[in-house]
Amino acid sequence: MIKDAGLGLRRSFLYDIYDYDIKPNWFEIAPENWIKRGGPILKQFEKIRSDFPIACHGLSLSIGSPDPLDFKFLEELKQFLDYYQIDIYSEHLSFSMEGGKRFYDLLPLPFTKNMAEFVSEKIMQVQDYLKRPLILENISYYLTLEEEISELEFINYILEKTGAYLLLDVNNVYVNAVNHGYDPKDFIKNIKLDRVKYMHIAGHLDYKEDLLVDTHGEKVKDDVWDLLEFTLDLTGNVPVLLERDNNIPPYQEILEEYKKLESIIKKVQEKHARI
Ligand SMILES: [Fe+2]
């Protein structure tokens, strides 16, 4: 079971994690990177899987796409999740494919009632097929396609309708709040916190005063650590994962940030224990 702090597993430090006394409680992987893998690298993954809880965070489901679901992919995914006994499968509440063409970015869905209904049906199909709840991540976005209802209403409606859980990415909330001019704490206070299965924290780039770019290639900024603490205060004990996908430093440096994440979680736990 995942708990407290976790770390996104990267190939660059796949062979380093047993060399340090500090070990993350759990790791997150992209199943697409492992489904067709073999050889020594898969052996190392299997060793890690036998020693640590693993969460899967998918990249290619494109749940909001107008295209039908790719059941060949879902079959491979289900086999992988079942074989490695992984219960946690999260994906982005976005689309990255249309008419069979795949984009490089995760694009936001139009925040409309029709889209909320449409994507909810697809989510329920995926949940039925995988025999697991989907855990949906709030993405960072730089444009809105349509906003008949707010993003908050959109997400909350889908969670309610489908029984899916939320992967609350605190950095994405912060980046969106600056870029689109709203209060990140208001957003967090009003999202369905009782549906949060786990959280993400990551770094972003300060491109301009009013434009942040969600790079996952920098250290986590102080404002985002503060927002995480604020959120944990409201959610109580929810697992949090440190993501670092680009510009990946040596493992020792990642562990320094991981230790900071652990210390914040511990601080909030101690505070709650006193209340
Ligand atoms: Fe994330």
Tell me the pLDDT tens digit for each residue of 205-256. 888 888 998 888 899 999 999 999 999 999 999 999 999 988 999 999 999 9
* Distance (Å, whole) CA 144 – CA 125: 26
Cα 235 to ligand 1 centre (Å): 18
Q: Is-contact 142 106, C-beta < 8 A? A: no
Cα(169) to ligand 1 centroid in Å equals: 5
Q: Enumerate the β-bridge partners of residue 56.
A: 29, 89
Which of 32, 1, 64, 22 has its CA nearest to residue 198? 1
Residue 91, strand partner residues: 136
Compute, in angstroms, the gap from residue 40 CA to the centroid of ligand 1.
Answer: 28
Helix (H) or strand (E) segment spanning residue 156: helix 151-162
> Which residues on neighbouring strands pair with residue 126, listed in sequence order?
none
User: What tokens appear for 241 in the block?
Assistant: 């994962």
Q: What is the pLDDT of residues 181-206, one digit of tens each?
A: 999 999 999 999 999 999 999 999 88
Residue 102 sits at φ, ψ, to 5 deg, of: -100, 135
* 3-class secondary structure, 252: helix
* Number of other CB atoms surrounding residue 18 within 10 Å: 10
The residue among 84, 69, 71 whose CA lies nearest residue 34 is 84
> 214 C-alpha to center of ligand 1: Å?
9
Q: How confident is the model at residue 267 (pLDDT cuts 50, 70, 90)?
A: very high
Q: What is the pLDDT of residues 78-102, one digit of tens each?
A: 999 999 999 999 999 999 888 888 8
How far is the centre of ligand 1, averaged over its atoms, from the C-alpha of 201 (Å)?
A: 7
Report CA(81)–ligand 1 centroid distance (Å).
20
pLDDT digits (tens, 9 = 90+) for 164-175: 999 999 999 999
State in Å: Cα 240 to ligand 1 middle. 10
pTM of the model: 0.96
Q: How far is the CA of 203 from the centre of ligand 1 (A)?
A: 10
Residues 6 or more apart whose CB falls under 8 angstroms from that of 109 comprise: 64, 93, 94, 95, 115, 119, 145, 154
Task: For residues 38 and 143, give the distance between their C-alpha atoms in angstroms, rounded to a whole number.
Answer: 40
Q: State in Å: Cα 8 to ligand 1 middle.
A: 10
Ligand 1 centroid to Cα of residue 193, in Å, is: 16
| Ligand 1 centroid, distance to 243 Cα (angstroms) | 7
Cα R_g (the chain), whole angstroms: 18
CATH topology of domain 5-274: TIM Barrel (3.20.20)
CA of residue 242 to ligand 1 center, whole Å: 9
One-letter identity of residue 247: N
The structural domains of the chain, with segments of one domain joined by +, span 5-274
Using CB atoms within 10 Å of the CB of residue 125, give its burial: 0 to 12 exposed, 13 to 18 middle, 19+ buried.
middle
Q: Of 58, 83, 82, 68, give the one whose Cα is nearest residue 139.
A: 58
